[in-house]
Amino acid sequence: MIRFRPSVSLATSLIGILDIMIAFNDDVSTLSNDVSRSKRMLSAFAKTWPNRARVKKEELVPIFEENKEDFLEELLPFKDQARYLSASKEMKSKVLTCGWIMYNAKTVQIETEIVAPACSDITAGRLPGLDDPEAQLAASETMVDEAYHLHLVEEANRLTKRWRGMDTLHVPQFHLVGYMKQMQAQMEHAWQRQMIQFCTAVVSEIFISDYLHLLSENQEIQSFNRQTVEAHRHDEMSHSPLFRSFGKLYFYNLTEAQQAFCADILPRPVVWFADRELDVWLSLLQQINFPDAEAMIQECRDQHEVDLAALDYAGIVSLASEIGMLDTKVGRDSFAKQGLLG
Ligand SMILES: [Fe+2]
Ligand SMILES: [Fe+2]
């Protein structure tokens, strides 16, 4: 029988966040109302952090269950392909462990390469509209949350690798991070590189709750894995509205030329996030000697490398709409070019 120490439930967390959101559910029809609402939300999120943050609660107790897999088959990009379906039970189990380790490694790269540097830019006062004490406090608390998530998922991967005898498994860099860095490298000015970092962080923080949702409630996978994801999602439920507020305050304080550049940038990380990361999958499958791994991944590539349909990006489109980005031609063209407008 598996027992975990009591933790604050997701429901409790949700009630606290909803309380804040309902309390500030007032008129956002004018720019000054929206700025004032976003600032008050930042302050409320910062003040409630000591009672809400998962890092302030007890650690999970790791236990391995013999009869449960690490990950969900439905999340594998090749789940319907003949080569996967005809693999042995042992090989399928190894593939699912790869899926879990990859899922955690992607989380680590999002936290360390995308979100933490954006938070550092806020605490250092480098981002317009976010250089006041309230925003800086909320950003520094978020950095603590993300550092805790790094510990949480690194620990989960260490234990899983040991339990499954897969200590040598190495996960390469994800396209999501690679594309962001490639675009930054092409930019002349620091503010452009910071904007790309910040927009990628906003998109990631709005998406990550959904990314975590499926595993956080699934009873079929290892209970420790589910609890790990649930603990992470507990914090991310508040990061999503927080980064929405960050995004608004930042955008409203940009010059017109910077706003046009931002409109060009914002939809891109959505597409990067929808990348199926087939190169990472190929590397992992080859490391576990999956038969004909290259041919199976090539079949996935022939279908599509990017799966926008698997993502609910309505939150990004509504953010762009609320800040007036979609009232401009450059904004509409940019979102349409990335396939985000119906
Ligand atoms: Fe996180
Ligand atoms: Fe986060």
Ordered by start, the domain boundaries in the chain are 37-58+82-337
Mark the residues whose beta carbon lies below 5 A from ion ligand 1: 146, 149
- Given this model, what pLDDT does residue 28 score? 62
Q: Which ligand has its closest atom nearest to the C-alpha of 205?
A: 2
Q: Kindly tell me if the per-residue pLDDT of 220 is higher than 50.
A: yes
- Distance of alpha carbon 126 from alpha carbon 303, whole angstroms: 42
- Given this model, what pLDDT does residue 242 score? 95
DSSP-based three-state secondary structure for 66 = coil
Handedness of CA 52, 57, 62, 68 (dihedral sign): negative
- Given this model, what pLDDT does residue 132 score? 94
Q: Which ligand has its closest atom nearest to the C-alpha of 147?
A: 1
Mark the residues whose beta carbon lies below 5 A from ion ligand 2: 236, 239
Helix (H) or strand (E) holding 228: helix 223-252
Share of the chain above pLDDT 90, in %: 77
- How many angstroms does the Cα of residue 146 sit away from the middle of ligand 2? 6
Per-residue pLDDT tens over the stretch 307-334: 998 888 999 999 999 999 999 999 999 9
- Given this model, what pLDDT does residue 138 score? 96
- How many angstroms does the Cα of residue 235 sit away from the middle of ligand 2? 7
Q: Which ligand has its closest atom nearest to the C-alpha of 232?
A: 1
- How many angstroms does the Cα of residue 246 sit away from the middle of ligand 1? 16
Query: Predicted confidence band at 24 (pLDDT cuts at 50, 70, 90)?
Result: low
- Given this model, what pLDDT does residue 5 score? 40
- Given this model, what pLDDT does residue 1 score? 31
- Distance of alpha carbon 77 from alpha carbon 30, whole angstroms: 44
Q: Which ligand has its closest atom nearest to the C-alpha of 142?
A: 2
Q: Kindly tell me if the per-residue pLDDT of 341 is higher than 60.
A: yes
Q: How many CB atoms lie within 10 A of CB 196?
A: 26
- Given this model, what pLDDT does residue 26 score? 63
CATH number of the structural domain 37-58+82-337: 1.10.620.20
- How many angstroms does the Cα of residue 237 sit away from the middle of ligand 1? 10
- How many angstroms does the Cα of residue 137 sit away from the middle of ligand 2? 15
- How many angstroms does the Cα of residue 192 sit away from the middle of ligand 1? 24
Per-residue pLDDT tens over the stretch 134-184: 999 999 999 999 999 999 999 999 999 999 999 999 999 999 999 999 999
Which residue, 254, 327, 329, 323, is CA-closest to 29? 323
Per-residue pLDDT tens over the stretch 47-58: 888 888 888 888
Rounded to the nearest integer, the mean pLDDT of the chain is 91
Q: Which ligand has its closest atom nearest to the C-alpha of 150?
A: 1
